[in-house]
Each structure stands twice: as C-alpha cells, then as structure tokens.
Structure 1
Amino acid sequence: MSIIQNIRDKAAWLVFGVIALSLLGFLLMDAFVGNRGRGLFGGNTSTVGSVNGKKVDYVDYQKRIQQVEDQYQQNGYPMNEMMRQTVQEQVWTQFVEENVMNEEYEKLGLTVTPKELDDILFGANPPQDLRQQFTNEQGVYDVNAAKSAIANLRKQKDNPMAENFSNVYLPALMEGRLREKYASLLGNTYYIPKWMAEKTNADYIQMASINYVAVPYSTVSDSLAEVKVSDSDIDTYVKEHQEEFKQESSRSINYVAFSAAPTAADSNNIEQQLENVRAEFAGAPDPAAFLVRNNSEVPYFDGYVVKSKLQVPNADTIRVLADGQVFGPYLDGGNYVLAKMIGKRNLPDSVKVRHILISTQGGQGVAALSDSAAKAKADSIAGAIRGGANFAVLAAMFSSDPGSKDKGGEYDFSSQQFGNLAREFAEASFYGTTGDKKVIKTDFGYHYLEVMNQKNFEPAYKVAYLSRAISPSVETENTASGAANQFAGESRNAKAFEENVGKQKLTKLIAQDIKANDIMLPGLGSSRQLVRWMNDASVGDVSEPINVEDKYIVATLTEINKEGVMSAAKARPQVEFVIRNKKKAAVIKSKLGSPASLEAVATATSQQVRTADSVRFNSPFIPNLGQEPKVIGAAFRKENQAKISAPISGNGAVFVLKTNNVSAVSDGGMNAEQQRTMQMQQMRQMSGFRAVEALRKAAEVKDQRSKLM
C-alpha cells in the first residue's frame, strides 16, 4: 500500500501538469486562432472600423442597424437579405458622414439647443410625419396634442418606440438642422457678378451655321498596327485620369451551380400529402389545432375577410364553398394549399369606435387595478356617460390607452386590422351594430366601448388554409450535394475546375467585383457564406460546395482587385475604344495634312461637305451629329469664319469646319437678374451635398466590417 501511495503522490504533480498544459494550449489556440479574428491576438473585435482615427463601435453599429430595420418594417417594407445589405451600407455611410461632419460642426461651433429642438418639433414647420399625425379636423397642426403625445412617450422608458424616438428620431432631426446650418454657411459664400450673368445670357442665345467634313473613326481599320492599344497605353491614360478609375477592393469568381430545387416528383409528393389529409381536414372540429398539428405554412386566422379583400388564387371557387367544405390541393406560389370554409357573414370594411380603457396591467407610473376594481370603475364610467357626461373628457381623465385618450378615445379600423386587435374588442367593433355601447373585458383590462360608425358592408368569409411548401426531398438534396462534392473533389485548382466544367458540359457563371461586406450576389441571392470564403481565398483556390438557397455552389477565385487605381486589364473595357479613337484621329490628321479648303478635305477622305445651320452655344448636341462639344466650341471661334479650322478630334470623327455666320436668337424674355438669382440658389442648394461628398472622400476610412460579418 505504501508503494502505491507513493506512486499516487508523485504522479499527482504529473497529472496536474498535463491538465495545466492542456488548458494553456486551448487558451493559446483560441487566442492565436480565434473566431474569424476574434482571438486574443486577432485584433480588436469591439470595432467595425474607423473614420479619421475615431473608432466605430460594433455594438453601436449593430444597434443602429436594428433600429433602421425596425423603422423599415414598421413602414411595411419586407426585411429580406437585399434590404439588410442596403441598410448596412446606409448605416455605415451615416457613421462615416456623422464623424466627418461632427468634426466640422465642432470647428465652427455649430450646435442645436433644446429651444431649437422644440422649434423643430412644435414650430411653424414641424416634421412631415408629426404634421400628418397631429393635424386636427380644421387642417391645423395641433401643437398641444403633439406635445402631450411626445411627453407621454418619453415617460415610457421600457417602450421600444420611446427608445427609438430618443435614440434615432430626435438625433436625426438634430443632424438635419446641423446640416441646414452648415449648408447655409457654405451657400452664403457663393456669388455671381451681374456682368457674368449678362455674359452667360448673351452666349446662350448665340446660334451658328457651319459647313463641315466629318471623317468617321470607322474609316480606319482596327487591325492597323498604329491603332493597336497596349497595356502601357492604358496605364498611361489611367494615370492621367486617376479620379475616374478609382476602385474599391473587390474579388471575382467563376462558379458552377448544382440545383437542389424541388423536382416534379417532390411537387407531386407534397400534393399527395395534402390529398391524403383532405378528408381529415374537412372533419376537424378545431381548425387552428389541425393546422398546427400538420405544420401549415399559413397560421389560422380566426376572423372574417370581406369579399373585396379575399385576394387568393381560386377566390371565386372558395367563396361558394359550403361551411365545412374543403377545396384543393391547389397551387399558391411555391405552396400547395387546402382551403376549408369555416363560416360566412356580412361585415363592415371599416369601423369608427371610441373607448376608455381601465387597465388591469398597470404601466409607467400607474398602479395595476384588481379585476373587480377595474370592472367597477368601467361600470361607473358607463353610468356617467349614460347620464350625459362628456366622453372625450372622461377618456382624457381616466383612459389608460395613450394612443387615443387625447383624441376622445377614437379609433378608425379597417377589416384587415381585425387580427391585430384584442379578440373581444375586435368582435364588439365589427360584429356589433352602430350605436352599441358596452363594457367588455380583454387581456388589457376593461373597456367602455361605443361603436360610432360602420361602413361598406360586404359578404365576409372565415377560411382555414392548410399550406405546405414545395420543398426538395432528401433524395433531391443528396443528389445535388453529391454531384457538387464530386466536382469539388476532382477540381482542386483553377485548371482542373475549367477542365471539368468542359468535360461535364456544365454552365460556368461569373460573379464580378464582389465587395468584402456584400451579402447578396447577382443571380444567387443571399450568399454571405460564399463571400466569406472569397475574402479568405487566393486566386486559383476552389471552394468546397457551399449551400446557397436551393443550389450548391463550387467556385474558383479568379481575381483580386485592391483598393486604388484600376489595372490595365480592369480598365481596358472602359478605355480601349477611347485610346484607339485617339490613335485613329492621329492617323486621319496625318493623312489630311494642311488642307486649303473643305472641298480638298472631302476629296482626300472620300467624304462630303455638309451643313449644320442650328448649332446652339448652350446645347451639347448638334442635330444629326450627336454630342460633339469640341465642334460646338470651334463653331463660335472668330478665326474659323475667315478660314477652315484645324482638324478637330471629336467623339465619333475628325472634323474640319468653317463657320458661315453667327447670329442671336430670341432670349425668350430671360431676365439676367432673375437668372443670376436662380443660379445662386441652385449653387447654394448643392453646396451642402458637395461639401459632405468632398469631406467623405478626403476622410481616412478603415472598413473592417467583413471580419465580423
């Protein structure tokens, strides 16, 4: 026993040492490797970038994105992946602009005081959304109603709408006012002298008549050695026009797609599944439970839909079903559907009601009442109103509903809002009759409710829809996945990828100029996983199969474009024809030499002498010639009235011209002073936008969002 104990005592230190080393190994592995740069030495994950050295916090960025997405959804916009990418770019641009503009505001001492904010909200020109919400029946903005509603909203600390109002809406109004001040300061620096306005007007009414010869660039063959465009020619051109050829960092891929979309057999299988439960659906006493049990894509709506709003496939057939009768399966988009008629009745398309809520839930600064106390208070209010008390006054004094208490308790609802209301409230409003006055109970408490008006009665239908998406079977998924895996396994480099595409007669697709933060790829949809692979890959790498919606994608990275000026290969499609035309112009000019007349030019080039008699100084176009600004400028040069011009390299040809005369046309009653004022206004209106653009371009922006997305 003593020997065994001795071994245990000595071995314990070894065990502790092994455990300690293992833990250290895990820690170091996480620190050095991390999760896409989130390790100890993988960089600071609390930021998504910086603007002029000021960090943009990850949490703030994500919070702003969520707030903007919530706003879009509240306004009825679908929040799909394309919208999410739009929102992310919108929010990032806001952070960049806010940072560069805040520096300017600070330098200039620009602020928005609390008094100014009150003026924005409640002054003569309130925000349009507030004006619409708080305009009374006389068409006047009700300042007191707006103040009351906003004050009440600010008290609700736990209300998401209150948080959005304080953290998004008000800062946006203040930022807008600061932009106005900044733009005003810049705008007031613009000035146009009177003489300049008069000179501009005088120039704009000039019209010239010219004779000319045009030698099209197409008369010189593209195969001519002198007009070949080399990479060095493109590099030289790009360097001379760098601003036009700046690019963001991006990557491009070639890829093949293996479809995992549902087959005809998959579709038939879903149709048969619904056919098999049709009789059971018809006899089900509880349609809501049946839909849940059978995994319906469409939840049960326990309400009626008026005839004009029942806009579904086969609506005419569904409307004539008897109660309990089932129609289908039929196709509705990508789903097969069974429709069961639950009931029919007449229903108003819209109602106007007013109510006073006595809450049993309590709220901000309001204690919850017991059920009996709330019921007694509601009954007391009902008695007071029957005795002649003013409904609006009692609503303002006692109602727990902040959305209506200052509006006499009134609401207008359409039948489409039925499902958004408390069931008892909705049924009393829509199923009752005009003039009904009663106390009803909901989950919120007790309501004294009056039905003031009901309009546009129509037949209405309560229908249960059992809906199944046409989805791919396991066999379909496995077939597509297997084909993609086999292709990827045989194509471990770009050369093998290209060879196997040809051998298997697959369709090779291209996705170009994909940015590091992109979510969507053209033609593919939501593809963030594929973009993440691209961000880490090298040219020639081939991906493992990546599931993108109903496809498996195998891609090879073909190009990495670094931020800066385009390469010759990238710029060639944009500039090759421009450089070639310049070289063709040199060939044509060399052939022309120094001609003495237009007739000599026409003879030397096998062209004709033509006339343009309506060349306007203020137009960039010449009738029958198109956009040729150099020709327009030459038409108004005095020396070209005495002799023919030197050859002019235009957009589509080399021109030689002679001006016959220059005349003035009617100015249409233009007033130089009015023109001057209008031009200054236009320049001032653009000044703010141009300044922000210039500051944003000049800012040192580091975008590191792709490491955390």
Structure 2
Amino acid sequence: MSVIQQIRDKYAALVITLIALSLVAFILMDAFVGGARGGNTSGSTLGKVNGEKIDKGRFDNMVNLQQQGQQGAQKDQIVNAVWSQTVDDMVMEQEYEKLGLQMTDRELNDLLFGANPPQWMTQYFGDGKGNVDIAKAKQSFAALKKQKGGDAQNVNDALIVPTINNQLRTKYMALLSQSSYIPKWMAEKFIADQNAIARFSYVSVPYASISDSAVKVSDDDIRKYVDAHKSDFRQEESSRSISYVTFNASPSSADSAAVLAQVQTAKSEFAAATDVQSYLSRVSTETPYFDGYVLGSQMQMPNADSIKSLADGQVFGPYLDGQNYVLAKMVGRRTMPDSVKVRHILIKTGEAGQPTLADSVASARIDSIAKAIQSGADFNAMVLKYSDDQGSKATQGEYQFAAAQFSGLSREFAEVAFYGRTGDKKTVKVENSGYSGYHYIEVMEQKGIGPAYNVAYLARPINASSETINTSSTAAGQFSSNSRNRKAFEENAKKAGLLPMTATDVKENDFSLNGVGENRSLVRWIYENKVGSVSEPFDLGDKYVVAMITSIDEKGVMSVTKARAMAEPFVRNEKKASMIIDTKFKSNPATLEAAAQAAGQTIEAADSVSFAQPFIPKIGNEPKITGLAFNKGLQGKVSAPVAGNTGVFVIKGESISAIPNAAVNVDDQRRQMEMQQKQMGAYRAIEALRKAADIKDNRFDFY
C-alpha cells in the first residue's frame, strides 16, 4: 500500500488537511508550534480550564478524528477520552507557560527528521529500516498538494499537537526528576525494614463470632464514621441513583416460531436458485453473501461439519445461530492455502477516483516489466524503479497474507495469490475505491493447503413482533401513569410482581447506566428532574424501562445513603470490637493465659512475620497487629486489647530479628528508590495539577 493510502485509511480527514502544504511550511508553520489552543472555533464553549475556554467546534473535530481512527468504539467512550486528554493538555500547557517551557520550530524540525522521529513519521514516511525517508515524505506531500480543498487543522490536532505536547511533557518530567533525591540512610532503613521479622504469641476473638444481625448500624453511626474519614468518602463530581422496573419487549416464542416458519418456507426456493447472489439480494439476509471460499478449519459457525458435508447445491437447515434462523447452501468447494507469500509490481492508473496515468500507457508498461523479468531482469530492481506501491519497496515487493485477509484484498489480486499455484506469474487489472491499475504478481509460496468452501447463508433475525412490542409498551405506559410518586411506584411494582432494580453513581455525562444499558436520553432525564420523580417509559430495544430518582449526591463528601455500602462493614466491626473488649477483655488481662481463659480461646504463635508484608498465618493481613509486634517496648509484655481487621487481639512480643541478606547493595537500592521516586513524582505532580485546576464542564448542555 502507498504512504498516501495509509494516511487516508488511518485518518480520512488528513487527505483534506494536508492539501496545499509544502513540507517546509508543514514543519515550520507558526500556528502549529502553539499547542492545542486556538485554531478554528464554533463560538460555543464546551467548558473551561482555569478560565480558558474549550471550544466545542475544535473538540468535535478531535472526536471525529478519533472515531475515524477507532472504528467500532462507542461515541461516549471517545467523547470522555477526548475530554480527559483535552483537560490534561490544557492544564499542562498552562504550566509550561508559567515555567517558560516551549518547543521551537527548529526543535520540531529536529524531532521529526532527527534520530528518534515520532512513530507516525516512520509509519507514513519510513524507509523500512526505522528511518524517515525525507524524499518519500516530499513526494507524498506533493501528491496531496495537487488535490483540491484545504484546512491544516486536522493535521495539527491529530499529529502535530500530540507530538509537541509529548515533547514538552518530557521536558517537564525531566525538570521534576532532577529534584528527586534519596539519602543513603533511607535506603539502609528500607533494607532493614524489608529484612526485619518478628515472633509473637497472641489470643484473638474473631468478629465472625458475633452475628451481623446482632449489630445495628444507624445513619448516625455512618455519619460519624464518614466525618472521621472524609478523604475516603469524597467524590470528585456529583452523581445520582435510580430505582427502575423493566417490561420485556424481546421476541416471544410465537415470534420465534413465525420466523422459523418463514425460513422453512424459503428453503425449496433457496435450493432452486441458480444465482444465489441475486436471490439473496432480492429476499435480503442478515449474513451478506461472500462470493469466495473459506477454509474448512476457519468455519466456526454452528453445524459446520454438517454444512461441509453438503453436496453442491444442497441446503442445510433451518438452524439457530445467535438470534437468527439460518439456511446454508453449498455453492462450491476447492482447495486453497491458509497463507501465501507473493511479490508484485504495481502500475497505477488512478488514485481516489482521480486518473494518474493513461490506461494504455500503464498496460504497455506492465507488459514490458513482465517480459523483462521473464527474460532474466532482477525483480527487485524492477520494483525499485517502477512500482507505485511505496509500502512494499523496502521488502522487494513482497507480501505475506493469511486466508482470513482474502476479503480485504482486491479480488483479482487475491484470486491469483490463493487460487493459483506456487510459481504462477500473472498480470491482473484492478479497480477499487482506493486505486486502479495493473499488478504483475508472482506466487512465491503457499502453505497449509486444505479444503475450502463457498457457502451462501439465508439468515433471518428473530425480531419481536409489533404485537409483542405494543403489549410491553402499553404495560410500561400504564405503570408509569399510575406511579407518579415513590409510594405509588413501589406499591404498583409489588402488585405487578416486578422487582425494582437500582442503578447508582450515574454521572451527568454518562451515556449508559450499569444494568440498564446505553440511553443518553434517560441520563439526561435523571439530571433534569428531582428525587422522587418517575419517568415515562424509555425504549431500550428489547425492553421498556420506567425509572424513579432515589437520590442526588453532590460533589464532595458522600451522603450517608451512598456511603453506607462502603462504611457499614467498618462501623459494624468497630461495634463488634467494643462488644468483644467489654465482654471478653474488660479486666485488661495481665497475661496471655488470662486473656485466653477470659475469651475462651487458645494461645497461638506467629513466627517469622515480616515487617514488609504484614500477613499473619491462619489470620490474614493485619498491619496494625504486625506493627504492634515490632514494638520493642512490648517484648516480653502483654498488650492491651487491639481491634484489627479480622478481630480483637491481645499479643505478647517474643523477639525481633532480621534475615541476613548480603546480596542487597545499599547504593543499588538507593538508585532504585530514587528512580521510582522520579517516576511517581512526575505522575503525581500532573495528577495534582489537574485536581487543583478550576474545571467547568458544560458537556451536558451539548450531548
């Protein structure tokens, strides 16, 4: 493939944006060396970062570019990713300005064409050896320059700005890393802590000895716990929660039976059709007809073995494949390889619908090339001199393809490679949306030859009938109209035998809800109404949903209702700890034997417990108890009762020692710790800048 075609496939918009730009102007244009701000605007403000506007038109342009580069990705995922990247970039650009960090035209030129060019430069303009081919870049830009149109903004947004920002971030992180320092004593302390072990005896009463139902946790208990641990219960943006009921609108058994009958009726007509492609186009099918062969080993559909055993013209089915009833007709069979290696020379007559060379000239040229090679001319020399496929010049015109790539190739090219034989040399003419021209092809190698089948599928989806949909819609509408407040919602759900479900932590810019599915309209309704509001039915494809807003949690410390799920286990354990201490250890026993007798437990021993990994055998992770065991003042003494993660403990320190480790080098450890500090320091600094930024998010007004 040509470099131009690679760019077009990756970012279709770049074909427009690079027009009328010379290579020098592209590299040195002052507008590019200014970061992500400025450029074309729509006048609508999508948000602000420390008072600086995010233009909606510019933002949408970036979303469109990402959608072109990430086929199949959900729009909400792309919007959220672009928003996050935009905010990060603007926060950092503002910081770069404060520090005086910048990237000059000369630096950009050196970066693009120096020893370590960005990946996209080598991808589009590489020489096959990891270097940027400047001549190839000039040739590609010159070809694009001939086309009509013009707007450099997409190039700026998709390639130049990320390149500049990455380089500026590298400079910024380098500044931060130089401030990192770990003294030798800290490394020595770290090594000592890693090697320290303790031995102790203990008596424990697990929290599990008290039933959860015996401990009541009130809202006031939760509130006090949250107030004491605010940082653990802080949310960075507001959220809402709903309760909802669903009304099934998926296909009924009657709907499925009706589709099955339709497919059974079509079986004889499908079997009699001599032109399956025309027939399937006329009657429609969920599985488009591929007029080619598929290796039997790659046929993974249900009943594959039965289908492969069909005689030509015979039909199998109906059978169920996912949500379709299917008929399979054997059109033909042959053998073909699962992979091929070919080499070729391409002479183009057109590109992107624009003629580049007269057909007669191209035809004569490819014939001359074929004759020269057949007379002993060096194939690679012909590739380098004549081939218009820039992507294969570095590999002597060679390509390797798997059978699964057949449908992605020009049909004429693929048939020579896969349906011919090793050693075949043929000239074919191709015409497709990307280019047109002549290929001279030599089949160099074919591997994994096996049986392949041409199968046509008549597939009909099992869809819900209008009767099924109307029944569900009517039931949902009646429920909604009769349930205009929380009390009525809950009572009517109970009468109808409907189990209300919950969706929590719904953010205003979400496009989907956990358990409900994707429905931006429902999210907008949630944020346009108040607690207790009940919605009209929302159509979610195979069901109707009626929702009720149950809570609103503003930015900041969580409400008691929202925090309860996280806080309640800890509060309950605190209460259990108090109960255990008051009933089992109230006298504060002076010996472990007395503690064991009071608690009705046995004395246990923990040996070689590591300071670095506070895990107690048979108990689990107990950092508070392990830390107590390393208290030198507790050696030979009994502690007061201590509430741990899993229960209440009374311990007696027996010894503290260290495992000798001569292999550890203090200087190496210090350097390693310093490197980790440099890496984490830069990350945390960027994270802190974002948290400290004043960010106004207006996406809800537009999406």
Question: Could you tell me which residue of structure 2 aligns to residue 322 of structure 1?
Answer: 311
Selected match of 2:170 from 174, 180, 183: 180
How far apart, CA to CA, are the structure 2 residues paired with 1:149 and 1:511? 55
User: Residues 611 and 424 (structure 1 numbering): CA distance in 2 closer, same or farther, change over 3 Å?
Assistant: closer
How far apart, CA to CA, are the structure 2 residues paired with 1:426 and 1:220? 72
2:416–2:443 Cα contact (<8 Å) kept = no
1:357–1:445 Cα contact (<8 Å) kept = no
1:323–1:343 Cα contact (<8 Å) kept = yes
Larger-gyration structure (1/2): 1
Q: CA deviation at 1:238?
A: 2.2
2:426–2:442 Cα contact (<8 Å) kept = no
How far apart, CA to CA, are the structure 2 residues paired with 1:198 and 1:205? 11
How far apart, CA to CA, are the structure 2 residues paired with 1:128 and 1:101? 22
1:242-641 paired onto structure 2 within 5 Å: 242-247=230-235, 248-361=237-350, 368-443=356-431, 444-456=435-447, 457-586=449-578, 592-593=586-587, 595-641=589-635
| 1:210 matched to 2:200 | yes
SS in 2 for 1:298: coil
2:125–2:136 Cα contact (<8 Å) kept = no
Give me the CA root mean square deviation. Answer: 3.3
Question: Could you tell me which residue of structure 2 aligns to residue 190 of structure 1?
Answer: 180
2:76–2:511 Cα contact (<8 Å) kept = yes
Q: CA deviation at 1:563?
A: 1.4
**TM-score (ref. length: structure 2):** 0.84
Selected match of 2:227 from 220, 235, 239: 239
SS in 2 for 1:355: strand
Q: CA deviation at 1:208?
A: 2.4
Q: CA deviation at 1:521?
A: 2.1
2:67–2:78 Cα contact (<8 Å) kept = yes
Q: CA deviation at 1:547?
A: 0.6
How far apart, CA to CA, are the structure 1 residues paired with 2:403 and 2:135? 29
How far apart, CA to CA, are the structure 2 residues paired with 1:244 and 1:702? 24
Question: Could you tell me which residue of structure 2 aligns to residue 68 of structure 1?
Answer: 66
Which one-letter code corresponds to 1:509 in the other structure? Answer: M
Question: Could you tell me which residue of structure 1 aligns to residue 29 of structure 2?
Answer: none
Identity %: 48
The Cα offsets for residues 157-205 of structure 1, whole Å up to 9 and x where unpaired, read as: 6799x99776424543443333333223222212111122223323332
Q: CA deviation at 1:470?
A: 0.9
Q: CA deviation at 1:565?
A: 0.9
Q: Tell me the matched-pair count.
A: 651
2:348–2:357 Cα contact (<8 Å) kept = yes
Selected match of 2:48 from 43, 47, 50: 50
The Cα offsets for residues 388-419 of structure 1, whole Å up to 9 and x where unpaired, read as: 44433443343333333454333322222222
Q: CA deviation at 1:552?
A: 0.9
5+ residue gaps, structure 2: 1-41
5+ residue gaps, structure 1: 1-43
Question: Could you tell me which residue of structure 2 aligns to residue 3 of structure 1?
Answer: none
Which one-letter code corresponds to 2:508 in the other structure? Answer: A
User: Residues 170 and 313 (structure 1 numbering): CA distance in 2 closer, same or farther, change over 3 Å?
Assistant: farther
**TM-score (ref. length: structure 1):** 0.83
1:437–1:448 Cα contact (<8 Å) kept = no
Q: CA deviation at 1:437?
A: 3.2
How far apart, CA to CA, are the structure 2 residues paired with 1:218 and 1:349? 60
SS in 1 for 2:618: coil
SS in 2 for 1:330: strand
Q: CA deviation at 1:216?
A: 4.2
Which one-letter code corresponds to 2:332 in the other structure? Answer: G
How far apart, CA to CA, are the structure 1 residues paired with 2:597 and 2:413? 91
User: Residues 610 and 463 (structure 1 numbering): CA distance in 2 closer, same or farther, change over 3 Å?
Assistant: closer
How far apart, CA to CA, are the structure 1 residues paired with 2:190 and 2:357? 77
How far apart, CA to CA, are the structure 1 residues paired with 2:44 and 2:261? 52
The Cα offsets for residues 97-137 of structure 1, whole Å up to 9 and x where unpaired, read as: 1111112222233344566556666666666788899999x
How far apart, CA to CA, are the structure 2 residues paired with 1:123 and 1:455? 40
Q: CA deviation at 1:321?
A: 2.1
SS in 2 for 1:189: coil
Question: Could you tell me which residue of structure 1 aligns to residue 57 of structure 2?
Answer: 59
Q: CA deviation at 1:147?
A: 4.8
Q: Point out the more displaced range, 367-376 or 540-549.
A: 367-376
Which one-letter code corresponds to 2:336 in the other structure? Answer: L
How far apart, CA to CA, are the structure 2 residues paired with 1:62 and 1:212? 63
How far apart, CA to CA, are the structure 2 residues paired with 1:395 and 1:481? 65
